Chain A
Amino acid sequence: MSTAHGPEDRAAMRLTLHVWRQKRSSAPGALETYSLRGVSPDMSFLEMLDVLNEQLLESGREPVAFDHDCREGICGACSLVINGQAHGPERETTTCQLHMRRFHDGDVITVEPFRANAFPVLKDLVVDRSAFDRILAAGGFVSVNTGSAPEANSLPVPRPDAEKAMDAAACIGCGACVAACPNAAAMLFVAAKVSQLALLPQGAPERESRVVAMVEQMDREGFGNCSNHFECEAACPKGISVANIARMNREFLRGSARSAEPRT
């Protein structure tokens, strides 16, 4: 790339931002418009918002609240619906890894929170995703107490299974799948954990009860159901496949049937 080794003097951009502002959960919210100059193409989207916030601070207004932490695409804290897309326009990219070189001088950008009944807005662009924790608390684990584990290599795992489990385990729990889904379904998130543990021998003893408990909790939290739009996969920053949802549906059927059988 020609810019890689010469001086980086690409022009700074001017942007118009429509940003969702909401004081608290119970208060009404609205889009507010800001104009921003001097945005470098090398900034991440969140660094662009940092610049906006410094500007708001200087003019005596309250900065925009948004969740973020690692800024390297792994903690799952950042969110944002950017021009209608969860995590913005770049495939398999979290908002914190989205760079402004993806945008152009003069662009108008709308920034909203992840929206779902199960993700209430706390302030501005910050939402409450604790429903995900409660779904995992219902069964997203292997019940093994510290100290009781057998020697690690006593349980071989076929490499293709381990790789598939890792594909599913890569989920960062950001909630983009929910925000992208027309039904605000959490099925991709739940399916990723169900798949990881269903694919591994370690997950086998609780295979049936796990999927049933997690799906029931998912329903209690008010998430919708899958109607095969696959917007979740398109929005997922880790490229988690909807094939996991198919696997979860099979697992759920299997689990429901097995749990209906009397235990001997």
Chain B
Amino acid sequence: MSAASGSSALDPKIPGGPLAERWTRHKFALKLINPANRRKFHVIVVGTGLAGGSAAASLAEMGYRVTSLCIQDSPRRAHSIAAQGGINAAKNYPNDGDSVFRLFYDTIKGGDFRSRESNVYRLAEVSNHIIDQCVAQGVPFAREYGGLLANRSFGGAQVARTFYARGQTGQQLLLGAYGAMMRQQGANRLTVLPRREMMDLVVVDGVARGVVARNLVNGEFERYAGDAVLLATGGYSNVFYLSTNAKACNVNAAWRAHKRGAYFANPCFTQIHPTCIPVSGGHQSKLTLMSESLRNDGRVWVPQRAGDERAPDTIPEAERDYFLERKYPSFGNLVPRDVASRNAKEQADQGRGVGPSRMAVYLDFRDAIAREGVETIRERYGNLFQMYERITGEDPYRSPMRIYPAVHYTMGGLWVDYNLESTVPGLFVLGEANFSDHGANRLGASALMQGLADGYFVVPATIAAHLAGRKLPPVGPDHAAFREAESAARDRTRRILSIQGRRSADSIHRELGALMWNRCGMARNAAGLGEAIEKIRALRAEFWENVRVPGDEGDMNASLEHAGRVADFLEFAELLVNDALQREESCGGHFREEHQTPENEARRDDERFAFAAAYEHRGDGNPEVLHKEPLAFEAVQPSTRSYR
């Protein structure tokens, strides 16, 4: 499946006019559907995280008929719930110089000049409305004593623009969107179907008209037909097996859509989060992130001497290396995630890592506790400290945390135009599942912002371009395309069950994950990537010959669900590695060892790689075809990203 280059041009449908006016002009140019006609349209939303939940609720409020599917037992459990630190907005409440343009600028720069200016500007523009909306829903954001909203700072920014609800911001925002969904469900305008996994996208006459899903309780295959399909199915971090993502997070829905014609963009842009709890052993099933907000008060350090085994509190100040503060004096511990992660790896590679595995660095609150008092620190981070102690059995109030980077978020995703529509008409992609706004690196507290921007404000406006702009003849679940998709999904499921080999899907997934982490993780090179492709192919063959899945098709069967997801990861991984191989530059989360400065910083190549790489599937066994969307920078001139 090596990549070939395609010639057809991608049309991102960027509206004309000055950057700051594009969204307003575009909304005016979009067709409207009158309220009485909206109920004639049925929208299928897959996923109920911040993007899917907010879209489903908003569309139902507007009068569309909405069916919402989620893999969890309740929409409230979608993985957005685990986001800790906060959500950005350009309110400028602290009067520290923030503006829509500065949030736009920081996001473009933070993304290492690999995102689309128009989309990012719109994101910054609607950010303030998101905060208004969430506050009105009763989201209990942190407040100052005067009763107004509090802000804190986050990596990659020099202003405090992050709104937060303790260390549970994702939870509170999701419960706000979930409440809005439940309100629509109670009013019979929205049907929520939990414990459903999307098995395929159904395309009729070139337009997305529904999905085939598997009911995870009784194993039945179900068909849902509609006028538009929204995918808000999250990212693909679990291709690395160990990540901070929830266990059910997968690439299936996006990969199935890809195989039905949706281009997949920038799969190699993966984010490694610098502050996660280190791996403790081979039994590890997932990794736990400690919010980046900890870097506001925690200082990152390692012993100066490699192999220093003394306990941290016995290492004198002069023998500690606060390497982020030393190398990046202006941003210090608040450098963006990719920079912080790569520097931690560099220290570990040089033998200065700490803890039993030596694959960790310290995050130390000693000075902050001495300065602010233990109660202030407890108020800010109490639940995070508690979580750390629960997992490691160590008390971070007394000894420094040990942290190490882990895969956390994926900037790549299905390619979408300005309307968030994929290359399959009628298929919209929202939130982490699309590639749209974060370029090669996402800034902290921007994922929640993007998910809610897409769901509350973008898609409810842009979906009309499709619903009112195209002829949509009635299509029901008995259409041949649904029969074909269901039959293919059933066959695949039966084939997985029929192998009855000797290995569990979990063991194959672990092997894939280790391979991806070692060859396509924080640092990548051509030889390692080439080797990874061979090994992925071998592992894929191993899966289809030797996987063992117990139980039945017509029953609740977690092993079968997992095996199906591993099968898709085994296909997708090859595309990810191929993309990493073709992108012969270092940018954001993608670091090619061949392309670095003498100071080991990333060397971007704007001459050759200022494009989004969008891949077209041309059938199993054929090479994916690479299409390039050139990225034009009008408002911000690409510069070497410096946080020194």
Q: Which positions in A face B, CB cutoff 8 Å?
A: 1, 3-8, 23-24, 40, 42-44, 46-47, 50-51, 53-54, 57-58, 60-63, 65, 67-77, 90, 92-93, 97, 99, 101, 122-123, 126, 128-130, 132-133, 136-153, 155-159, 162, 165-166, 169-170, 172-173, 196-197, 200, 202-203
Q: Is B172 an interface residue (CB 8 A)?
A: yes
Which chain B residues border A61 with CB–CB below 8 Å?
A: 550
**Are B77 and A169 within 8 A (Cβ)?**
no
**Are A46 and B355 within 8 A (Cβ)?**
no
Q: Give the distance to chain A from B517, nearest Cβ to Cβ, in Å.
A: 18
Which chain A residues border B149 with CB–CB below 8 Å?
A: 152-153
**Are B558 and A146 within 8 A (Cβ)?**
no
Which chain B residues border A137 with CB–CB below 8 Å?
A: 182-183, 185-186
Which chain A residues border B386 with CB–CB below 8 Å?
A: 92
Counting chain B residues whose Cβ lies within 8 A of the other chain, the interface size class is 35 or more
B85-117 to A contact mask, C-beta < 8 Å, 1/0: 000000101000000000000000000000000
Which chain A residues border B281 with CB–CB below 8 Å?
A: 8, 40, 42-43
Q: Give the distance to chain B from A171, nearest Cβ to Cβ, in Å.
A: 9
Which chain A residues border B460 with CB–CB below 8 Å?
A: 146
Q: Give the distance to chain B from A194, nearest Cβ to Cβ, in Å.
A: 12
- One of B220-228, B387-395, B482-490, B596-604 contacting the partner: B387-395
Which chain A residues border B399 with CB–CB below 8 Å?
A: 1, 4
Q: Which partner residue on chain B sits nearest A71 by CB separation?
A: B286
Q: Is B535 an interface residue (CB 8 A)?
A: no
Q: How many Å lie between the Cα of A191 and that of B144 in the bound state? A: 26
**Are B387 and A132 within 8 A (Cβ)?**
no
Q: How many Å lie between the Cα of A114 and that of B34 in the bound state? A: 47
> Which chain B residues numbered 131 to 183 have a C-beta less than 8 Å away from chain A?
131-138, 140-149, 165-166, 168, 170-172, 175, 178-180, 182-183
Given contacts A70-B246, A130-B73, A136-B182, contact A157 B283 (CB under 8 A): no
Which chain A residues border B642 with CB–CB below 8 Å?
A: none
**Are A133 and B248 within 8 A (Cβ)?**
no
Q: Is B627 an interface residue (CB 8 A)?
A: no
In the complex, 28 of the A-B residue pairs with CB atoms within 8 angstroms, ordered by the A residue number, are: A1-B393, A4-B355, A7-B356, A24-B556, A50-B285, A50-B506, A60-B550, A63-B551, A69-B77, A71-B247, A72-B82, A75-B79, A123-B555, A132-B74, A133-B75, A142-B137, A142-B179, A143-B183, A146-B54, A147-B58, A149-B133, A149-B137, A152-B128, A159-B145, A196-B138, A196-B140, A197-B138, A202-B138
Q: Give the distance to chain A from B228, nearest Cβ to Cβ, in Å.
A: 18
Q: Which one of B284, B387, B551 contacts A47 once the chains associate, using CB atoms below 8 Å?
A: B284
Which chain B residues border A169 with CB–CB below 8 Å?
A: 140, 165, 172, 175
Which chain B residues border A50 with CB–CB below 8 Å?
A: 283, 285, 506
Q: Give the distance to chain A from B351, nearest Cβ to Cβ, in Å.
A: 16
**Are A170 and B168 within 8 A (Cβ)?**
yes
Q: Which one of B134, B171, B355, B356 contacts A172 once the chains associate, using CB atoms below 8 Å?
A: B171
**Are A158 and B147 within 8 A (Cβ)?**
yes
Q: Is B457 an interface residue (CB 8 A)?
A: yes
Which chain B residues border A71 with CB–CB below 8 Å?
A: 246-247, 285-286, 288
Q: Is B546 an interface residue (CB 8 A)?
A: no
Which chain B residues border A93 with CB–CB below 8 Å?
A: 390
Q: Is B194 an interface residue (CB 8 A)?
A: yes
Which chain A residues border B134 with CB–CB below 8 Å?
A: 152
Q: Which positions in B face A, CB cutoff 8 Å?
A: 54, 57-58, 61, 72-77, 79, 81-82, 91, 93, 128-129, 131-138, 140-149, 165-166, 168, 170-172, 175, 178-180, 182-183, 185-186, 192, 194, 217, 246-248, 280-281, 283-286, 288-289, 309, 311-312, 354-356, 386-387, 390-395, 399, 456-457, 460, 504, 506-507, 548, 550-551, 555-556, 558-559
Q: A128-B73, A141-B180, A166-B140 are in contact. List 11 more A-B contacts (CB 8 A).
A: A1-B393, A4-B394, A5-B311, A63-B550, A71-B288, A73-B387, A146-B460, A147-B58, A147-B129, A153-B91, A166-B172
Which one of B74, B192, B395, B457 has the highest number of Cβ atoms from chain A below 10 Å of its Cβ?
Answer: B74
**Are A165 and B140 within 8 A (Cβ)?**
yes
Q: Give the distance to chain B from A25, nearest Cβ to Cβ, in Å.
A: 9
Which one of B128, B170, B186 has the highest number of Cβ atoms from chain A below 10 Å of its Cβ?
Answer: B186
Q: Which one of A47, A97, A147 contacts B390 once the chains associate, using CB atoms below 8 Å?
A: A97
Q: How many Å lie between the Cα of A128 and that of B178 in the bound state? A: 18
Q: How many Å lie between the Cα of A243 and that of B91 in the bound state? A: 36
Q: How many Å lie between the Cα of A61 and that of B76 in the bound state? A: 32
Which chain A residues border B393 with CB–CB below 8 Å?
A: 1, 3-4, 99, 101
**Are B142 and A162 within 8 A (Cβ)?**
yes
Given contacts A47-B284, A166-B140, A166-B166, contact A140 B179 (CB under 8 A): yes
**Are B133 and A146 within 8 A (Cβ)?**
yes
Which chain B residues border A136 with CB–CB below 8 Å?
A: 178-179, 182
Which chain A residues border B284 with CB–CB below 8 Å?
A: 47
Q: Give the distance to chain B from A208, nearest Cβ to Cβ, in Å.
A: 16
Q: Give the distance to chain B from A52, nearest Cβ to Cβ, in Å.
A: 12
Q: How many Å lie between the Cα of A196 and that of B138 in the bound state? A: 8
The 4 A-B pairs at the shortest CB distance, nearest first, are namely A156-B147, A141-B179, A149-B136, A137-B186
**Are A153 and B93 within 8 A (Cβ)?**
yes
Which chain A residues border B185 with CB–CB below 8 Å?
A: 133, 137
Which chain A residues border B286 with CB–CB below 8 Å?
A: 71-72
**Are A69 and B246 within 8 A (Cβ)?**
yes
Q: Give the distance to chain A from B414, nearest Cβ to Cβ, in Å.
A: 23
Q: Which partner residue on chain B sits nearest A162 by CB separation?
A: B143
Which chain A residues border B311 with CB–CB below 8 Å?
A: 4-5
Q: Give the distance to chain B from A141, nearest Cβ to Cβ, in Å.
A: 3
Q: Give the distance to chain A from B83, nearest Cβ to Cβ, in Å.
A: 9
Q: Which one of A4, A123, A133 contacts B76 once the chains associate, using CB atoms below 8 Å?
A: A133
Q: How many Å lie between the Cα of A61 and that of B355 in the bound state? A: 39
**Are A153 and B148 within 8 A (Cβ)?**
yes
Which chain B residues border A97 with CB–CB below 8 Å?
A: 387, 390-391
Q: How many Å lie between the Cα of A133 and that of B77 in the bound state? A: 11
Q: Which partner residue on chain A sits nearest B188 by CB separation?
A: A137
Q: Which one of B148, B289, B394, B548 contacts A1 once the chains associate, using CB atoms below 8 Å?
A: B394
Q: Give the distance to chain A from B51, nearest Cβ to Cβ, in Å.
A: 13
Which chain A residues border B182 with CB–CB below 8 Å?
A: 133, 136-137, 140-141
Q: Give the distance to chain A from B74, nearest Cβ to Cβ, in Å.
A: 5
Q: Which partner residue on chain B sits nearest A128 by CB separation?
A: B73
Q: Give the distance to chain A from B72, nearest Cβ to Cβ, in Å.
A: 6
**Are B146 and A72 within 8 A (Cβ)?**
no
Which one of A54, A152, A157 has the highest number of Cβ atoms from chain B below 10 Å of its Cβ?
Answer: A152
**Are B285 and A46 within 8 A (Cβ)?**
yes
Q: How many Å lie between the Cα of A147 and that of B132 in the bound state? A: 9
